[in-house]
Structure 1
Amino acid sequence: MDRIKEKMNQLRLEAEQSVAKVEELQTKIKTLEQENTQKEQEIRSLQHRNEVLEAQVDKLEENVKELKAAANEGAEHGTQNETLTRRLQLLEEEAEEADRTLREANEKLRQTDVRAGHFERKVQALEQERDQWEAKYEEMAKKYAAVQKELEDFQNEINTI
């Protein structure tokens, strides 16, 4: 009788541990899903920023072309030419800075994509682990029910004796 009680207590303890582990895994899954959502938002933000920067680069490149054409036409006008040349240099520096910023944004986007893939694999692994724990929990519940039935049968036998 003590062995059965001990076995039942052990099964109860294992069931409680399984439930606790499932809850812990579900919490981890929620956390990872939130992180994944944040990363997706960050990706969208970086993509938008990338598009804005590309538009700025196009605009700046057009400005550079326009200023170069104006500089060629105004070669006779020394003062005006110097002013336009300075302006052109500033725009080229801005274009280089915008290009550098665009490259950095693209690199960050690539890194974010890599991280998102990593987290997706992690979520899949955790989901598989959760499924395994759920299967173990169901198996333990069946064993517990079988032991409970054996105990009832045993008690019925004792009572009939």
Structure 2
Amino acid sequence: MDKFKEKLAALREEVNAATSRAELAEEEAKRLKDEQIQKDHEITSLKNKLTLAEADLEKAENKIAEAKLNLDEGETTKTVGEGLARKVSLLETELETAERNLRETSEKLRQMDIKAEHFERKVQQLENERDTYERKVEELTTKYNGIKSELDETLKSLEDM
């Protein structure tokens, strides 16, 4: 009887431990999903910046083309053209940086997806373990109740003698 109680207590501890692990895994999965959402927002922001940078680049290129047409107007136009060229160079640098950030963020997002899938599988595995332990506890409870009723009947028959 004591062994049975010890086994039952051990099973309860295992169920509690499995439940705790499952809760931790669920929290981790939620945290990873939140991070993924944040990364999605960052990607969207970077795409918007990239679009704006491309628009600025196109404007700058148009201004450079205009400046080349007006080159005959003198030194003032030359200075403006140099300024626009610097701006184009700066915009190209910003564009390259934005593209690099986008690639890095995409890679991080891919890695986060992989991690999220891993944790989802882990959560499913833990849920399956929990279900198995719950079934075992139910079976043991049923056996315990059966043995207890047999013991009660035996004690009752002994008392009747």
Cα-Cα RMSD: 1.0
What are the equivalent positions in structure 2 for 1:67-82 lying under 5 Å apart? 67-75=60-68, 76=71, 77-82=77-82
User: Partner residue of 1:18?
Assistant: 11
After the TM superposition, list the runs of 4 or more consecutive aligned residues in structure 1 that deviate by more than 3 angstroms.
none
Give the Å deviation of 1:91. Answer: 0.7
What are the equivalent positions in structure 2 for 1:47-126 lying under 5 Å apart? 47-75=40-68, 76=71, 77-126=77-126
Deviations 1:62-94 (A, max 9, x none): 111111111111121222111111111011000
Q: Which runs of 5+ in 2 are unaligned?
A: 72-76
Give the Å deviation of 1:24. Answer: 0.9
Q: Which runs of 5+ in 1 are unaligned?
A: 1-7
Alpha-carbon distance between aligned partners in 2 of 1:121 and 1:58, rounded to the nearest angstrom: 37
User: How high is the sequence identity, in percent, across the aligned residues?
Assistant: 32
Alpha-carbon distance between aligned partners in 1 of 2:145 and 2:60, rounded to the nearest angstrom: 85
Alpha-carbon distance between aligned partners in 1 of 2:159 and 2:45, rounded to the nearest angstrom: 83
TM-score of the two chains, using structure 1 as the length reference: 0.92
Alpha-carbon distance between aligned partners in 1 of 2:65 and 2:160, rounded to the nearest angstrom: 114
Number of aligned residues: 154
TM-score of the two chains, using structure 2 as the length reference: 0.92
Give yes or no for the alignment of 1:41 onto 2:34: yes
